[in-house]
Amino acid sequence: MIKEDEYHKRRRKFIQKMKKNSLALFFSAEPKTRSNDTEYPYRQDSNFYYLSGFNEDKSALLFIKREQKTEVFLFVYKKDKTEELWNGKRLGVEAAKKRFKVDDVFEYKELTQKLKEYIPSLKHLYYDFLLDYSKVKLLKSHAKDIYSFRNAAKIVEAMRLIKSPAEIAEIKKAISITKEAHHRAIQTAKECSYEYELQAEIEYVFRKNGAQSDAYTSIVAAGNNANTLHYIKNDAKIKKDDLILIDAGCEYNSYASDITRTIPANGVFTKEQRELYTLVLSVEKEIISMVREGVLRSKLQKKAQKLLAKGLIELGILKGSVKKVIKKQQLQKLYPHGIGHWLGIDVHDQCPYKDTKGKEIALCAGMILTIEPGIYIDKENKEVPKKYRGIGIRIEDDILVTKEGCKNLSQEIVKEIDEIEALASSHK
């Protein structure tokens, strides 16, 4: 668990980045209706969570920075016996005062009045530019003399790039549960007739081990379904010679894991599956070995493209030179996505890829990113020899950049062909 001291430090750091005579406001996420009067499970706004660790809706964080003085106020929803009977306990103002190192805690309904009090004497207003219009309106209704409006989210998202030891520990915990889930998937795939059965095996392990949720909807894609990058229907029958692409990771204490393994349904790779899998795996390992401080993600992507192109030419799947198949977008058809992304509170962690001058941000110790090359050959792709059609493979690991180079946080999740086959056959 990340301690209040750490959240307090983050708030201090945020306030240092504000201009003088300014106010910043962050809101908790709104509950989302599923249908009629039922809701999706609540998920806190990531930036609000990063600054508070507080998981209730109807709350807000207010920062005020004047010439000499700074103040941070938290607004929380009141304790109300009837509401608590239906929807569960709230922390309430008094307990929040004890838990949070803020200057004061108020009831959420007091927010409008406080904004009315503070905004007119200030010059700059920070808020999340993606905020709901009703909240922006509330802010701006008092902002006649405001000199500039600034995006508060951008500041926090840049802070989120470098993970603290406590954040790394949460992500490691998420990955350790996800490891068990992928291993169970490898062991039980043979027994599953439909993709959703395998999805259930995986998500059972997530919940059973205390993960609060999946970090994104699990992708369990058998055979040609793996060629739909965001396939989430998971309702098709699994054929015995299919490869199954499983992109699934749990969320633990609001931190994500993001892992893909591609496994044979019947426990054994066919010759063609093996050839393609070996290529993707060798590229994945090579790119991971390049991760270190100072490296650009774009360089990793270029290298992955070159290696995949070379391998696909050697297998007779692409024709021509490496340069040509990349330039003419032939590789793009078989490898259409990026090499990876930041990972953290969000699975695609909402951190910048470019600095404020538009220059790509180089890797730095404390960053966590995924490395996830793939090859996708649709069954209708007539340009590729028939034996390779209908195969989609991605292998994805979660990598921490360190002072010494990098650490693959998910290295214990099996991915060598013989390891996968051995694990599949170990379960009778």
Residues 339-358 that bind ligand GLY (CB under 6 A): 341, 347
Q: What are phi and psi of 72, to 5 degrees?
A: -130, 125
Binding residue for ligand GLY, selected from 157, 167, 195, 372, defined by CB under 6 A: 372
Please work out the total of residues on this chain that contact Mn ion, with binding judged by CB under 5 A.
5
User: With contact defined as beta carbons under 8 Å apart, do 395 and 286 qualify?
Assistant: no
Instruction: Supply the minimum distance, in Å, between the C-beta of residue 289 and Mn ion.
Output: 19
Instruction: Supply the minimum distance, in Å, between the C-beta of residue 215 and Mn ion.
Output: 9
Residues 127-146 that bind ligand GLY (CB under 6 A): none
Q: Which does 277 bind (CB under 5 to 8 A by kind): Mn ion, ligand GLY, none?
A: none
Residues 337-376 that bind Mn ion (CB under 5 A): 370
Neighbouring CB atoms inside 10 A of 301's CB total 17
Return the active site residues.
Answer: 37, 230, 247, 258, 337, 341, 348, 372, 376, 394, 396
Q: Which does 216 bind (CB under 5 to 8 A by kind): ligand GLY, Mn ion, none?
A: ligand GLY
Task: State the Cα–Cα distance between residues 297 and 304, nearest whole angstrom.
Answer: 11
User: With contact defined as beta carbons under 8 Å apart, do 59 and 38 qualify?
Assistant: no
Task: State the Cα–Cα distance between residues 352 and 349, nearest whole angstrom.
Answer: 9
The answer to whether 195 contacts ligand GLY (rule: CB under 6 A) is no
User: In three state form, how does the secondary structure of the chain look?
Assistant: CCCHHHHHHHHHHHHHCCCCCEEEEEECCCCCEEECCEECCCCCCHHHHHHHCCCCCCCEEEEEECCCCEEEEEEECCCCHHHHHHHCCCCHHHHHHHHCCCCEEEEHHHHHHHHHHHHHHCCEEEECCCCCHHHHHHHHCCCCCCCEEEEHHHHHHHHCCCCCHHHHHHHHHHHHHHHHHHHHHHHHHHHCCEHHHHHHHHHHHHHHCCCCEECCCCEEEEHHHHHCCCCCCCCCECCCCCEEEEECCEEECCEECCCEEEEECCCCCCHHHHHHHHHHHHHHHHHHHHCCCCCCHHHHHHHHHHHHHHHHHHCCCCCCCHHHHHHCCHHHHHCCCCCCCECCCCCCCCCCCECCCCCECCCCCCCEEEECCEEEECCCCCCCCHHHCCEEEECEEEEEECCCCEEECCCCCCCCHHHHHHHHHHCC
In terms of CB distance, is 200 or 232 closer to ligand GLY?
Answer: 232
Instruction: Supply the minimum distance, in Å, between the C-beta of residue 216 and ligand GLY.
Output: 5
In terms of CB distance, is 396 or 421 closer to ligand GLY?
Answer: 396
The answer to whether 258 contacts Mn ion (rule: CB under 5 A) is yes
Binding-residue pattern over the window 234 to 253 for Mn ion, x denoting contact by CB under 5 A? -------------x------
In terms of CB distance, is 136 or 281 closer to Mn ion?
Answer: 281
Binding piece for Mn ion, criterion CB under 5 A, among 7-15, 155-163, 255-263, 269-277: 255-263
Instruction: Supply the minimum distance, in Å, between the C-beta of residue 14 and ligand GLY.
Output: 28
Residues 215-234 that bind ligand GLY (CB under 6 A): 216
In terms of CB distance, is 125 or 371 closer to Mn ion?
Answer: 371
The answer to whether 28 contacts Mn ion (rule: CB under 5 A) is no
Binding residue for ligand GLY, selected from 57, 203, 258, 349, defined by CB under 6 A: 258
The answer to whether 396 contacts ligand GLY (rule: CB under 6 A) is yes
Instruction: Supply the minimum distance, in Å, between the C-beta of residue 348 and Mn ion.
Output: 7
Binding-residue pattern over the window 236 to 255 for ligand GLY, x denoting contact by CB under 6 A? -----------x--------
In terms of CB distance, is 229 or 362 closer to ligand GLY?
Answer: 229
Binding piece for Mn ion, criterion CB under 5 A, among 110-118, 131-139, 360-368, 391-399: 391-399
The torsion angle over the Cα atoms of residues 412, 413, 414 and 415, rounded to 10 degrees, is -110
Instruction: Supply the minimum distance, in Å, between the C-beta of residue 241 and Mn ion.
Output: 24
Instruction: Supply the minimum distance, in Å, between the C-beta of residue 336 and ligand GLY.
Output: 13
Residues 196-215 that bind Mn ion (CB under 5 A): none
Binding site for ligand GLY (CB under 6 A): 216, 247, 258, 341, 347, 372, 396
Residues that bind Mn ion (CB under 5 A): 247, 258, 260, 370, 396
